[in-house]
Amino acid sequence: MFFQYQGVLNLRFLFASLLIPLLMPLPVNAQSATFYSNGMVGRKMANGQTYHHGKYVAAHPSLPLGSRVKVTNRHTGRSVVVTVSDRCNCSIDLSRSAFQAIANPKKGRVPVSITRL
């Protein structure tokens, strides 16, 4: 009987230790920015507008569409203000021109901090 109870207790502890890190929010330093691929040009975004490289727009998984955010490259300190107009699965996905304003597109991904305005 004691061993069964101890086994259940250990399973609960194991489950909790695996679940708690998944429920905790990511720290600010874990955010990174990428940019839209060339295949997105001319396609409709979640807000109904057509995507073009020259617009300062971004995709974000949870911020409301139409929100304005300041994205700052943590390595260089350069920042850009963009409008959230689409959805993505990453921290933030910038248009090519917005990404070029804060980093070289050859990098592909840069650590950023995101501030809602």
Q: What string of H, E and C letters represents the secondary structure of 50-89?
A: ECCCCCCEEECCCCCCCCEEEEEECCCCCEEEEEEEECCC
Q: Answer yes or no: is 58 within a domain.
A: yes
Q: Answer yes or no: is 19 within a domain.
A: no
Range of the domain at 94: 26-116
Q: In this structure, what are the phi and psi dihedrals at residue 75, rounded to the nearest 5 degrees?
A: -80, -40
Number of domains in the chain: 1
- How much is the pTM? 0.69
Q: Answer yes or no: is 90 within a domain.
A: yes
Q: Answer yes or no: is 4 within a domain.
A: no
Q: Answer yes or no: is 13 within a domain.
A: no
Pairing of strands 68-73, 79-86: antiparallel
Tens-digit pLDDT profile for residues 23-51: 554 444 458 888 887 777 888 888 888 88
Higher per-residue pLDDT: 29 or 107: 107
Q: Answer yes or no: is 92 within a domain.
A: yes
36 three-state secondary structure? coil
CATH number at residue 73: 2.40.40.10
The answer to whether the CB of 98 falls within 8 A of the CB of 114 is: no
